[in-house]
Amino acid sequence: NAGVMQNPRHLVRRRGQEARLRCSPVKGHSHVYWYRQLPEEGLKFMVYLQKENIIDESGMPKERFSAEFPKEGPSILRIQQVVRGDSAAYFCASSPIQNNEKLFFGSGTQLSVL
């Protein structure tokens, strides 16, 4: 019974390239959250998706960032034209219902922008 799987674990990109971060939720979980963690900071909410729908994207930068959670396959967080300030750890979390008591976090993707 696998937990939340994120890949890659580490991703290195040069400025201007695209970054695609993948998150496979726990089997049966239809609610996915993405959080970003900057060094020495707590996690900050980015987006909440529920199968094929974006429910809340209030934490997402207005430009260059997008997220999806298709009917089949993992959730994807996409960052276009990355800049150095995008360097951070990106965590995905999933839940079977809209309730943080049942939330499980993945191991994160560490994005480094050169």
Partner 1 sequence: ELKVEQNPLFLSMQEGKNYTIYCNYSTTSDRLYWYRQDPGKSLESLFVLLSNGAVKQEGRLMASLDTKARLSTLHITAAVHDLSATYFCAVDTQGGSEKLVFGKGTKLTVNP
Question: Which residues bind to partner 1, rule: CB under 8 A?
Answer: 4, 33, 35, 40-45, 48, 55-56, 58-59, 91, 98-101, 103-108, 110
Q: Which is nearer to partner 1, 13 or 48 (CB)?
A: 48
Burial 67-87 (b: 16+ CB within 10 A, else e): bbbeeeebbbbebeebeeebb
As measured in angstroms, the least distance from the Cβ of 13 to partner 1 is: 19
Q: Which is nearer to partner 1, 7 or 107 (CB)?
A: 107
Q: Which is nearer to partner 1, 81 or 100 (CB)?
A: 100
What are the distances in angstroms from CA 55 to CA 46, 48, 51, 63, 100? 11, 6, 10, 18, 15
As measured in angstroms, the least distance from the Cβ of 33 to partner 1 is: 7
As measured in angstroms, the least distance from the Cβ of 34 to partner 1 is: 10
Return the ∠ at Cα 80 (arms to 8 and 103), rounded to 5°: 50
